[in-house]
């Protein structure tokens, strides 16, 4: 009897999730809910943001009356940042969170995470990116070395190649040249080196 296996899934959409300082002790419980909801936790880190970092993260809220209280709340203790991935990750995570105001969430979406774990309109327990642009910015803020699909093009691609790809490839290929291998198979890699270097020169001048 053949067992039908589901086709492999490629997670291309990511969103940022934050477990806020006042419910960090519920992290294991919340992660279990996340995983059972079909998400993959791509990366996770626990950190304590300064008020200045919080101000930078919530820069779009600057000038609003609640902004000082928001930055004080988010810098009051350690938080847990996670990159979540799945099909339509941003939309599904927002649905799981419920309304941003916990008081509203308790009335209209009593099974949502904010209704369960939140306290009031400020201390709403969890954060989720609002859209793709926000997700891209927020993920890079919390995880600077992560690539967010779709892969950047133009200047962003050039910057990424210059910073991460080119130095690593050139270092490895230079070491290969220094050792002057006698194995015919390995010598063929020198041809590959020329090809790769040509590609890198092309990529660096992408526009």
* Active site residues per annotation: 127
How many helices and strands in the chain, by DSSP H and E? 10, 4
Q: Which residues neighbour 22 within 8 Å (Cβ) at sequence distance 6 or greater?
A: 73, 76, 77, 119, 123, 125
SS3 category, 45: strand
Task: Give me the phi and psi of 44, to 5 degrees please.
Answer: -145, 140
CA distance 54 to 79: 11
Nearest alpha carbon to residue 124 among 73, 84, 72: 73
CA distance 198 to 27: 48
Q: Which residues neighbour 37 within 8 Å (Cβ) at sequence distance 6 or greater?
A: 92, 96
CA distance 38 to 101: 25
């Amino acid at each position: 009897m053949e067992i039908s296996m589901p086709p492999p899934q490629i997670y291309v959409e990511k969103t940022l999730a934050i477990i806020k300082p006042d419910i960090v002790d519920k992290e294991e419980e919340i992660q279990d809910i996340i995983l059972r909801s079909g998400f993959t936790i791509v990366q996770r880190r626990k950190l304590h943001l300064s008020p200045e970092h919080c101000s930078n993260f919530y820069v779009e809220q600057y000038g609003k009356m609640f902004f000082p209280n928001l930055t004080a709340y988010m810098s009051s203790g350690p938080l847990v940042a996670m990159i979540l991935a799945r099909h339509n990750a941003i939309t599904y995570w927002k649905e799981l969170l419920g309304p941003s105001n916990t008081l509203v969430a308790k009335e209209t979406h009593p099974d949502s995470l904010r209704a369960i774990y939140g306290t009031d309109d400020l201390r709403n327990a969890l954060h989720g990116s609002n859209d793709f642009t926000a997700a891209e910015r927020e993920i890079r803020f919390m995880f600077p070395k992560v690539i967010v699909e779709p892969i950047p093009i133009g200047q962003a691609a050039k910057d990424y190649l210059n910073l991460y790809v080119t130095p690593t490839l050139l270092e490895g290929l230079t070491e290969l040249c220094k050792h002057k291998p006698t194995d015919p198979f390995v010598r063929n890699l020198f041809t590959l080196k020329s090809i790769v270097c040509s590609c890198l020169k092309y990529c660096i001048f992408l526009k």
